[in-house]
Every structure is written in C-alpha cells, then in structure tokens.
Amino acid sequence: MASTTVTRRALLLTSRARHFSSTAARPAAEVKRLGVVGAGQMGLGIALVAAQKAGVPVILVDNSQQSLDKGLAFADKLLSKDVTKQRISQEQADAARALLKPTTSIEDLCNADFVIEAVPEIPQLKFDIFAKLAEICPKHAILATNTSSISITRIAASTTGGNSTDRSNSSRVVATHFMNPVPVQKGVEIISGLQTSSETVETAIEFCRKLGKVPSVSADRPGFLANRILMPYINEAIICLETGIGDRDAIDAIMKNGTNVPMGPLQLADFIGLDTCLAIMKVLHEETGDSKYRPSVLLRNMVAAGWLGKKSGKGFYDY
C-alpha cells in the first residue's frame, strides 16, 4: 500500500514537472500600455515610476476625481523635487508627466497590455475589480494586483465568472507587490496563484525589471515573503511596549543601532499605518491558525482609537 502511494506521488510530481517545463520557455510579452487602478500613494507611485523608467503611457484610474487630482499634484511635487536636485532635467520631468493619463472610467483600460490594481486591502473590492478587468481588458493583458496579504488564487478565481473550467482569464492574474514608497524602494514581490501561467510570471518579472525594481518570487501563502517576516517583527515590538519590556525610544533605538535598520519597528509601523499592520496580522492569524500571529492588544486598541500613525497625525509618535 505504501509503495502504491509513493508511486502515485511520483507520477503526480512528474506530470507537474512536465507541465511547467513545457511552459517555462515562453518569452515575456512586451508591455506598451500600462493601466493602474487606484490613484493613492501606491498607485500613483507605480504609475510615476512606469512613466519615468519604462517610458510607457499610463492610464491612471480612480472613481474619485478628487483622488486623481491629489495624486497628480503629488506626482508634480515629486518630479519638481527631482529637477531641483538635478536628478532629472525639466524636459524629462515634462515627458514623464505627459505620459500620465487620468480617468474615472475603468473602461478606458480596454487597450492596456498590463494592469496593476492598487486599491485598499478589501477582498471583495479587489474581486469586483478583477471581474470587471477580465471583461474589458484584451485577452493578452496581464492582470496584476499590488495586494500585500490577499490570496492571489482567490483573486484569480474572481475572473472566471463562476465558470471554473475557463482558465483563460485566471491564468493571466499575478501579484506585483511593490514596496512603499515605490519611487524609492527597489523591492517587489512577484506572487503567482495556482492558476497563473509561467508566461504571466515571466512578463511580470521582466516588466518590473524595466521599472528598475529587483523582483523576488514568493509562493501564494499568507503574508507572502515581506509581510510574513516584517509584520510579526513589528507586532512583537508592540508587545514589548505593551508589556513594559522597554519604552518606545528604547525599542526603536536598539533595533536601529543594533541591526542598522533606518528606522525602528514602532516608527516604521506609524509610516505603514497601524490599520494596515492590524489588517495583515489578522490575515496571518486567521489563515494560518497559528497563535504566534495574534495581533497585539495595544495595536487593536490604537486602531480603535483612530491612532493610525503618520497619516492620522498620531501613532506611537506625534506628527
């Protein structure tokens, strides 16, 4: 019986190996038009980097004209800063800015080769967006998400329209999880779902390299690589504060001066957003069932109080 089980497993692994070897040689597709859904800090950062580094036209979509105006004003500020510091010329800044095309209509993505969704970490919101993208985007277009915690397999499943046998849409869904702030940080996680094709992954990797990023490939597991490592570190620092092992300044100072990180875990949590930290810890805790990912009581209470960090003016520090 044991021998039969081993043989079956070996045949399954061989079958999978043949599947991946047959698709691994497919070349990356060329990206001539990019779409970005969400004009917040992450979406705007991705759009601006794509315009500057890859020189591709970017359709920036948001359902709020106010968000679009705010995002483009921030882009102008960043470009002006780069010109002042002589990182780029005024002509280069103008050229990059001209490539950003704002719109409140997601239907304007009908000719995009690659779309990156960068909206808040609300699962149903992302599922609805991807169902829509699957309808309106060309069949060759890569549909990417900037999610930091939601399963790519679940997001890909939302593109099938309930038809699980139709893999034409779900195979082109992938995650391109950029690090914040996008114009500064070089890291980006590439995560594939069970349905994602190797061609989709290769196209995502090559496009991110054109943006000057350094891709790291992660499996579709709760938290992926970055947050699976980072968030428990931040959460443990909050527990150290909560239980009186050290005060705020001591905790941040020992990590800055002891491990040479640019900012301590509590200050970093403020910059990320305590609500975001809590949301990711909840995902890790719920999806793994492991008590080591239990969110700190202090973290929960600070979010309940509206002390979300830098964006709200108060977190572990005052801003």
Give 318's DSSP letter: B
CB-based contact 80:33 (threshold 8 Å): no
> Is 41 labelled a binding residue?
yes
- Ligand-binding annotation for 313, yes or no, is no
Report whether 98 contacts 90 (CB < 8 A).
no
**Is 126 annotated as contributing to ligand binding?**
yes
| Cross-strand pairs, 145 | 117, 175
Question: Is 148 known to sit in a ligand binding site?
Answer: yes
- 17 in a known ligand binding site: no
Is position 52 annotated in a ligand binding site?
no
Q: Reply yes or no: is the peptide bond before residue 120 cis, omega within 30 of 0.
A: no
CA 41 to each of CA 5, 78, 178, 272: distance values in angstroms, whole numbers, following the listed order? 51, 12, 11, 11
Contacts of 104 (CB under 8 A, 6+ apart): 61, 62, 63, 64, 65, 68
- Judge whether 121 is annotated as a binding position: yes
55 is in an annotated binding site: no
Residues noted as catalytic: 148, 177, 189, 227
40 annotated among ligand-binding-site residues: yes
Question: Which residues participate in the annotated binding site?
Answer: 38-43, 62, 121, 126, 148, 180, 311
Which residues are documented as binding site for NAD(+)? 38-43, 62, 121, 126, 148, 180, 311
